[in-house]
Amino acid sequence: MHLLERRAARRRSLGFWLVATALFLLMFAASAPSPLYVVYQGLWGFSPATLTAVFAVYVLALLAMLVSAGGLSDFVGRRPVLAAAIAVEAVSMLLFLLADGVGWLYAARILQGVGTGLATGVISASLIDLERRPGFGALVNSAVPTAGLAAGALGTGLLVQYAPAPTRLVYALLLGAFVLTGLALAVMPEPVRRRHGALRSLLPELGVPKPARLAFVVVLPSLMATWSLGGLYLSLGRSLVVEVLGVTSPIAGGLVIFLLMGTGSVASVLLRGRDSRTAIVAGGLLLAGGVALLLLALALPSPALFFAGTVVSGSGFGASFLGAFRTATSLAEPGSRAALVATLYTASYLSFSLPSLAAGLAATHLGLHPSATGYGLVVIVLALTAVAATVRFARKTRDRTDESG
């Protein structure tokens, strides 16, 4: 009996890290095109508005899948949904390999968004299902995406600088990685029993259970601030480095994304033992301060100050998202967890895409620097709003506890 229990525990642990690996690869692939956007612009001659549109269609496709299929794995099981998502993602990598114009980029990014959206809810729920220590799944779910985004941007930048076929090689490597991951899913345990209602679950529905609704409203400004900044970096970060700061190295565009997301991942790990309120408050203050440094760097201009501001902002990103995600998901029952996670990511990815699309349109008409300045000021306001809302929510909760006691 003990041998069977140990085998089950090992399989559970293996499944957990396999899911974490899939999440890392998905986020690596999500940021891989970012350092190449300027390369594509040079090859095919499109505007900043088109550039952010290519980025935005990925997120909108992702959102469509989150809203419609975010809770599907609660009914049909985690493993089949994840396998389907990885298969779609692999096909999108093949389209990137074949791309010879903007139309191919749109098609590849839309399909990539479908695969990532299908995977997002099931991965987040699986990490919590398979965790061996309470809270560890939420930590991995907040640290790994930022680590994957960081590695994808920097890795692609290095390939552009030093490797042959810069617009092809990264996608060939990712295609192979997704195929291997899909095959490895055979060893993942299935934590969910199938039940009726799968087709009905495909109807668009936001799943915030009643006990988590107030907490969701409180963490919403934090989600908006962090992911809107991430969207700006992944869509226009390379353009800001080249056109405003005058840094032309292909690595620099990937490096700023790496610093933002990498420090976000480190901050998530360092703050894993802190309570959610502390993480959100500290993260919001760091995010506001970091973005203020970014705006000053663009005004001077100063590449060194821009990189420093990116590190500070990234720390705020990681801390804020960890606190927000942990606050909301801790209030959900297993049967409604995937739908709640889908709702959290819906809010996050809307903040990820729509503001950056607006920034691209503004940059086409008003210029990149003024548009980035206005964008940064909005992020600062959202970050400070998140801090104020969290402090007020904590005070009300404490007062209510004192009264009941």
Give per-residue pLDDT as tens, 290-329: 999 999 999 999 999 999 999 999 999 989 988 887 777 7
Mean pLDDT over 98-116 rounds to 93
Which residues are CB-contacts of 25 (< 8 A; sequence separation ≥ 6)?
89, 148, 174, 177, 178, 181
Phi, psi torsion values for 368, nearest 5 degrees:
-70, -45
Q: Catalogue the long-range contacts made by 197-200 (C-beta closer than 8 Å, 24 or more residues apart).
A: 197/75, 198/72, 198/75, 198/76
In angstroms, how far is CA 31 from the centroid of its own chain? 10
Q: Is the pLDDT of residue 17 over 60?
A: yes
Phi, psi torsion values for 32, nearest 5 degrees:
-55, -40
**DSSP 8-state assignment for residue 244:** I
Q: What is the pLDDT of residue 207?
A: 65
The larger pLDDT score, comparing residue 1 to residue 222, is at: 222
Cα separations in angstroms, 389 against 6, 280, 307, 343, 379: 45, 10, 29, 20, 15
Return the axis-axis angle of helices 78-98 and 2-31, rounded to nearest 10°: 30
Q: Is the pLDDT of residue 93 over 90?
A: yes
Which residues are CB-contacts of 385 (< 8 A; sequence separation ≥ 6)?
221, 225
Q: Which fold has domain 2-187+202-404?
A: Growth Hormone; Chain: A; (1.20.1250)
Read off the pLDDT of residues 321-370 as tens digits, 9 standing for 90 and up.
888 877 777 666 655 666 677 678 778 878 888 888 888 888 888 888 99
Phi, psi torsion values for 193, nearest 5 degrees:
-85, 140
Q: Is the pTM of this model over 0.85?
A: no
Omega cis (within 30) before 80:
no
Mean pLDDT over 261-284 rounds to 85
Q: What is the pLDDT of residue 62?
A: 87
Label residue 1 by pLDDT band (50, 70, 90). very low
Which residues are CB-contacts of 365 (< 8 A; sequence separation ≥ 6)?
none
Domains in the chain: boundaries: 2-187+202-404
